[in-house]
Amino acid sequence: MNTGKNKNAGNVVLVIICLIICAICLIPMLNLLARSVSSTDALVKHEVYLIPKGFNLDAYTLVLKDAKYIRAFFWTVFLTIAETLICLFMTTICAYPLIFKELKGRRLINIIIIITMFFNAGTIPNYLLMKSLKLLDQPLVLLLPGALSVYNMIIMRSFFYGIPDSLRESAQIDGASHFTILRSIYVPLSKPVFATLALFYAVGRWNGYSDALMYISNSKLYPLQLLLYNILNNINSVEVATQEGFSAPGLTESLKMAIVMFSTIPILCIYPWLQKYFIHGVMVGAVKE
């Protein structure tokens, strides 16, 4: 009896902790949403917290009517998709060979790769490298430098270790090449790790702005987050506010929140779509009798 009561008490504590964590995550988002759809008067008087006051969509109308926001949005969508595909490809072809114990120099290769997690050249040498490669102000400068994450590669390699060697050995006996084995066995059985890493790479690219800030000066190549960064830094100035057409203080504040929501909601919509891959164990039944 005491064990049952202790278990129920532990479940209650866990539920309370989960609710607190959910509140910590949701309250800032609810505040942003409320401020983005509230009237300018309520914002000026600081009356908006979690519930909108004087509902209006003026800020969203301004955002959706401005060509630079729409262009930056679709450009960022393209960058995110392209970066995710490139990174998954590079991570896969790097992780797969390292699962073979007979690979010559495997230990040394692993050490060299892991060293890059702790040491890098730094910002200025990286900039000079991009300049010498003539990648400045080129779309590839936003895709190639981050094409492989060593941490994510280790995650994928560890997942590959969990796939039975008997599957690979059976395919090799049948004459399958390594590319065939990777494409037909490892990739289909690794949907959870691919979904997880795709989410990591996509969120990283969608939220990234520092590389564009350093390497891109052409405003047409600005990703959405860099555009948001510049606007939030400059929106309070009279000159910028007048140019953008929202010099009213309340509308300025509302527009800030609308831009943040505009750049946050799309990436949040990906989580539910990928969630099913996190909870299903595709290895169940992979080895048939």
Q: Are residues 96 and 221 in the same domain?
A: yes
Q: Are residues 112 and 8 in the same domain?
A: no
Q: Are residues 101 and 187 in the same domain?
A: yes
Q: Are residues 188 and 107 in the same domain?
A: yes
Q: Is residue 289 part of a domain?
A: no
Q: Are residues 137 and 165 in the same domain?
A: yes
Predicted local confidence at residue 10, as pLDDT: 76
Q: Are residues 20 and 88 in the same domain?
A: no
pTM: 0.78
**Residues 79-96, mean pLDDT to the nearest whole number:** 92
Q: Are residues 65 and 154 in the same domain?
A: yes
**What is the domain count for the chain?**
2
- Here the tokens at position 193 are 């790790």
**Residues 12-19, mean pLDDT to the nearest whole number:** 88
Q: Which residue has the higher pLDDT, 200 or 283?
A: 200
In whole numbers, what is the pLDDT of the chain averaged over residues? 79
CA distance 72 to 74: 6
Q: Are residues 129 and 199 in the same domain?
A: yes
Give residue-wise pLDDT tens across range 149-179: 888 898 888 888 888 888 888 888 888 888 8
**Residues 210-230, mean pLDDT to the nearest whole number:** 86
Q: Are residues 132 and 19 in the same domain?
A: no
195: CATH: 1.10.3720.10
- Rounded to 10°, the helix 249-268/2-36 angle is 130
Containing structural domain, residue 33: 2-44
